[in-house]
Every structure is written in C-alpha cells, then in structure tokens.
Chain A
C-alpha cells in the first residue's frame, strides 16, 4: 500500500507559520527594542520548520486562533 503524504500545515491544529522577511524582522525588533536572541526559540528540527523550509536565524511568525483575543501573534527565532 502506498502511503499518501499529507502536509502537516493542512492540519487544523497546526497554526499558521510563516517566515518573516528581513526588513520586517528589523521593524519588529525595533518596535519592541529587543535583540533577535530575546525572541522565543523554535528548533530547526521542528516538523513545521522543516515543512516551511525555514533556516537557522530565520524568524517565523505564528498566527494562532485564540479563544480570548480571536487571533494572536507570536514570533520565534529558528535555532539549531
């Protein structure tokens, strides 16, 4: 039997992950007056990170559905 490969990004429990462009990252860091290292981290080995082909040092934006706020944003720095 041949296994069909389904992208985990399609799954309803996986929130939207997207790589943030360099300019946007600079804006973000400036807005919060933080360094990249002060973002929360996500491992390169994370299945979603593999799937969206992000690389170490990329920043990903995660958009979640939130029961409280409707939509919530968070940013993570990809690490090894």
Chain B
C-alpha cells in the first residue's frame, strides 16, 4: 500500500457556482415518494442524488444501494438568505467596509502593516485571529471613507440574522440579505485578505446564500416503520419546509403581492434555513416535529458528546464485546475470567479451516449452535451461511479447507477485560476465558484493585480478540501477571485484600502448633511437595485419639509451627527483612529495633524462603504495598508470582475458614467502665477545657498565636482540644476492645477499615467541620435555634460526643449531615474536574513515544526529553520507581561474602 502524507487541510466557503457545479439535481418539489412508491423526480429523495431503496439504481453513477455514496443536489433560492453560521462575521465585515465602495476603512499605512502582520503569522503557522480582531476594531472607528469620501452609517445587528443601518437622524433602515450580498461583493480581493480570508477560497458574499446545497439521501435516509409507513429524516422534513416557502415566495412575488407579505415570507424562509443549520439558536423557537420533539438538524448532528466528532469519529461502538455484572470467584486464576455460556454463544472467533484443524472444526460445526459450536460459516467463495437448527449437519459434511468458521469462544481463549473509567493502562487487561453457568462475569478478588472494582453491582466489558496478532500482543503485553507491578508507583497493585489479609494475619500471629492433618487441611489445593521436618512433638492430651496407634500406646505427635506452614508456599532463595504494620515505630521513637526478637513479632524476616519471624499483614502481601510479592516478582518472574498469589489466597481462605471470623454490631461494645472513662476522662475533660478557653477569651486573657486573630486562635485551640478528645477516647476504646476484637484486628492488619472508623463507631464521632472549621453557619449568632446566641461551646458548633453505636442526638445528627454534605460535594466536584483534566492531558500526550535510544519524541521526531523520565526507568519494571534498591543489593552481596 502506498502511503501519502497529509500536507495540509484547507477550509473555505462554497460559492453559488460551486454548489451548482457539484449538484446532481436541481430540486423543485417538496415531495418524496409518489403514489407508485417510487421516488418522485426532482423531489427530495430523487434517484439522481442517491438511492436508499434496494433494487433501484442511481441515475447519476449507476450504483446500487450501498455502492452509490450519494450525490448533492441543490435548491435555487428565490431570495438571498444569510448563513446563520457567519452572521456575526458578516456584521463585523459590514462595519469594517465602506457602504459605497466596499473598501476596508483603513488608511494605506495601517492596511499595509496589518497585511504584513497577517502574512508573518501565516508563515509561522500561527493564529491570525488576534490580528484580524484588531483590523475590525480599527476599521470600525472610521466615520468617513478615506477612499471615496462617503460618510458611513452605524450598523445594528439584530440577532440572529438581521442588519439595520442607522442614519444621522437615527432613522433605521433594514438591510435585506441581497443588500448585504451586494455590499460584500464590492469588497476588493486585496481587502478580503485583511479578514484573514483567502479570496480564492472564501469570498465574503458567499456567506449569503442564493443556492442551498441539498445533502444526498444517503445522509438522511428514511426509515420504514412496521406499519409500512415511511418516516423521513429530520433534515428532509426541514428541506421540505424550505422548498415550500421558497415556492410560496416565488408565487407571491410573481403575482405582485404587497411588500409586507413578501418580507414576511422572506423572514420565514430565513427562519427555516436558520433552523436547518442549527435548531438550537438563542432567542429563536426551535423547529419542532409534529409530536412536539425539536428537530435534529445539521449542527445537532455534529455537536456534543453524542455528535459526529466525539460520538462517531473519536469513539465508536464495537462488535465482539459483552457487558455484565461481575461477581467474585476465588477459585479461578487471577488471569482468568468466568464467562456465562449465554455470552459465549454470542461471541465468536473466526477460524480458517485447514488440514491441521479440520477434524476439530468439523466436530465444532457438527454441534451446531449448542456451545461450543458455531454461529456462521463462510464458504471458500466468500458466501456467509448462518448456522441453523436445520442446516448444521449438512454444513459439517460439506466443510472443506479454505472455509472460515465463526466458532463460539471457549475455555482458554484470550479476551480483553475492562472496567470504566479506564484511568490507567491496568483498566484493560487480557484474561483467559472460562465458561461458567450463571449470568455474571466471574473475577478473582485479588484483581479488583487494578480495575478499582467491587461486587456491589459493578459491570465490566469484555472484548474478543479477532486476529492472531492481537492475541499475541495481548498475551505478551496485557496479561494480568504481566501487570502485577503498577506503572504508577512501581509496586504491586495486585495482592491480597480484605479477608485474605485477615486470614494470613490470623495464621501467622501467635505461636501455634499444627499436627499433620491440620497442616494438610490448611494446605488444601496448594501444590506443596514436602512438608519438611516438623518443628517438634507434643504429648497427646488425655483421651486424644491418634490414628494408627493401638491400645494404650502413647506416641508423641509431630507438629509444625504457623511460620513453617506459611513458609511452605514461599519460593526457595527468598531473603527479605522488613517491618510489618504492627511495628511500634521503635526506631522513630529513638529506641532500637529488636528485629526478629521484636516483642510484637512485627519484624518480618525471611531466610532462604523460610519465615523466621514476623506477622504477615498488608505490608507483606496487600495490594499497593506487597513487599514480598514485589520481591518474588523481581527475583522469580511473573509466572511464579502468579502461582504465589494463588497459593497465598488459598492458604488464607483455608485458614480463615477453620479459625472462623466475623464482625457484628456487638463487636463495637465497650464495657461500662470503658464508657465511663471515655465520657469522663476524654469528652468531659475536653469540654471543660474548652469552657476554660472560652472564659479566657471573653476575659481578654487569651493570647493570640503569631499571625492569627484572637478569635481564630480560640477556634484553633478549641479544635485542637476536641480533636485530642476524640483521639484519646479512641485510645481508651482500643484498650478495652483489644487486639482480639475483629474490628481492631482488621484495622491493625490492614485488611479493612481504620482505627478512626472504629473510634467513631465505638467511642466518639468527634468534631464535624465545614472547610476545616467548626460549624458556625445557620441562624444569627448561633447554628441552630436550640442554642443561645453567642454560645461558643463544643456542642453548639458541631462536636458529636456520641458514638455511632450509641446513636447521635438530633442536633448532633444535623451537624453530622452538614459535615457529610461537604464531603459528598467535594468528591463530586473532584471527580468531574480530574476527569476533564485527564482528558486534556491525554489529548496533549497521546502521540509521544519512547524511542529505542531512550529519547521521548513526538510524531515529527522532535525530541521532547532526552532521557525518558530523566532517569530512563520504566516504573512498571522498577522498585518503587527506583532502578535498584541499593540496601537490598548491599545486603545480598554481604551474604555472598560470608
């Protein structure tokens, strides 16, 4: 194929001559189809301007429906009409040119300078708009023509398409479109250039229409309703109106009707042509369908999200795609997707029948439309045959090399899976199909983070790849396991979530002894070849039955520790040390980290694939953190990581199923003493301090903080005090709940929720705020009528002392709603703003490319950056954005030394 380069795009106006030249038919009748059902000659759907009826041939090019692209026709307008799209520009040109000689009202010197400036801008390929604006501004100032001496009159523009001239006596005179056209015709070619227009492509008078092009019928096809009635396109309706008025205008003028009637008809013609171009003009009633629906005319077809540009050209609907609700399935792999059979039977892959796949394909065709079967076959001559209940057996018999078979998708096919909004590249990844019963797509929960999906009714899209190249590319670049490390921050985005983390946390916390059967239970469905040496043995307790023992024989039972069990899924050769989530930040507090001897067991140490110490939590395996996953990915590659994630998930589920885990409303209960303590020590104490602050303020004893007003200082101190109160009550609650509390456990392990959430549920909701301040709006001097004016106390300004479990008082509830509303509005505003910002960024950056030499270049080859990201690192192959982890390298090399 020869490629051509686009040198430029030229925009211009159509002259009447050109419109007539490209017209295949002059249209004179407003009718479409005749009694016989055939298009009427010279009508709006006549056979010279295209065919939309099967069996008919185009009278211009001879093509059938589908072959003939359609041809323009034209309507000769009986009266000139302003083109609404140029109405404003016409006005500007009128004010800038002489009413008698048509020259632009600029002195020779100015004229020359402006022309030169426009030329310069064009050379630079820059916008001439600014210069042209100045031309209009300058020229409109002249009261008298400097060339012919004609005094100029003021021109008034009456939206949308009327112009009036006002003489010295303030008398108005309407400029009819033909007057306007005459004036524009007078402007010399050399002056047209001053408006930034090229007189060869766009003469100003062409903005006043005397001929109206009629788009081909193919651009406005009529549809046949079920009743057999024809329904015409909105554009055709509009053109009918135009022709009718045009005709009436002619008849009236020829009959010598009074000027008033002529002008009315002229106005009506203008209205119809205006709404034909744009049916959404400010101040003009839109043209309506008989049903009252506004007509969709040319501008409505192009504009906006659903318009031709954004809707049909930049974005299209696609075939071979499916959409449904997603639901979880922890038993499928992370790179699999469960597809309902009903969907699999609609989506196909085209297979060429060859010697090598002949038998398989014949079997497939023989199944007909039952899954995994076929929907269509294409014979060697290219004829497409729909597979039906009655023909599939014959088709299977006739099947031959060179045929193409459109077979259902089946297990193992590769597809693209997507969830909107597609904010990063991980929003579309390649998955392997697994056909399942049911109506939902099934997705492994560990792949939720990259898609930002959950199962509260989220829907996702699936696209079936149609070419071998696409499948190869998807497999190599888009497979889920390829994208475990996020290109956004260089850490795993796929990892354990929610209950998986809880399970692992429960498993590895505290010293546990598992006998062999327990170990095997926990390792159910995990591929472990060798349990290794048990950590020790314990004496069986009284009445304990051990399989394989006889009578009174007492045999010590071997056991494995929780750390050993976890180690069984770790790959050999893994060495790692890091702090877990439960670390008390000893180092930051100036104490020494006791490492593997940490009293909280917060220091994770892995040696040669053995967990020596530490509790496994979010830091180790969670998505976004996942220190262990990151290391395995870099050290052992994506396949082993994929297996590891699968194993970790199973281990976690197996254990949490055994241990049991639940969270209920009663888990937010705090014993009476605890409640008392929160009320007295935290809340009441804080309220007293607030009162003291207020008294100090009112007594003038409060000292302003640097850079703050006295009142601001007071507010600040109160906020601080109440914030402390909530934190303190949270601490008390935590003490009473204890680590065994499932809520605390989830927060501490990073599975779900935070200590703040728990504090608010169990202890104290705390201060509500609007724009970072206490709530102060409402009535004069007070927030609600329940309070005295001037009351500065905590509860009068949005401090909620209750917990969610206790329930809020009516005023507290109201304040909470006030604060909550702000959060809601904020997120709504943020998402729309960041969405638009991202759209602009993508439009600006989409053509940049990293070349083989590491430079970033745009399409012309201009170097935008000499080294990608200044360091040449691909973040999705990095370690938290760094090329290497220096500490790790040192540790590893020290190990080799010893």
Q: A interface vs B, CB < 8 Å?
A: 32, 34, 37-40, 66, 68-69, 72-75
Contact = CB atoms under 8 A, between A and B. Distances in A.
Contacts of A34: 861, 863
B863 A39 contact: yes
B864 A38 contact: no
Nearest to B864: A40
Contacts of A73: 866-867
16 contacts: A32-B863, A34-B861, A38-B860, A38-B862, A39-B863, A40-B864, A66-B870, A66-B871, A68-B869, A68-B871, A68-B881, A69-B867, A69-B871, A72-B870, A73-B867, A74-B865
Given A32-B853, A32-B855, A68-B871, A74 B866 contact: yes
A68 B867 CA distance: 12
Contacts of B855: 32
Contacts, number: 36
B854 to A, nearest CB: 10
Contacts of B881: 68
Contacts of A72: 866-867, 870
Interface residues of B, number: 15
Nearest to A33: B853
Contacts of B857: 38
Given A34-B861, A72-B870, A74-B865, 17 more contacts: A32-B853, A32-B855, A32-B863, A32-B866, A38-B861, A40-B862, A40-B863, A40-B864, A68-B869, A68-B870, A68-B881, A69-B867, A69-B869, A69-B870, A69-B871, A73-B866, A73-B867
Nearest to A41: B862
Interface of B: 853, 855, 857, 860-867, 869-871, 881
B122 to A, nearest CB: 15
A38 to B, nearest CB: 5
Q: Which of B855, B863, B870 is most buried by chain A, counting CB atoms within 10 A of its CB? A: B870
B860 to A, nearest CB: 7
B287 to A, nearest CB: 50
B888 to A, nearest CB: 19
B177 to A, nearest CB: 45
Nearest to A67: B870
A73 B865 CA distance: 9
Given A32-B853, A32-B855, A39 B870 contact: no
B536 to A, nearest CB: 51
B434 to A, nearest CB: 42
B139 to A, nearest CB: 29
A71 B121 CA distance: 37
A74 B857 CA distance: 13
B870 A38 contact: no
A67 to B, nearest CB: 9
A36 B866 CA distance: 14
Contacts of A37: 862
A69 B860 CA distance: 27
A7 to B, nearest CB: 27
Contacts of B866: 32, 72-75
Contacts of B867: 69, 72-73
Nearest to B872: A69
Contacts of A74: 865-866
A73 B881 CA distance: 20
B357 to A, nearest CB: 46
B878 to A, nearest CB: 11
A34 B851 CA distance: 13
Nearest to B881: A68
A72 B870 CA distance: 6
Contacts of A38: 857, 860-863
A66 B547 CA distance: 68
B852 to A, nearest CB: 11
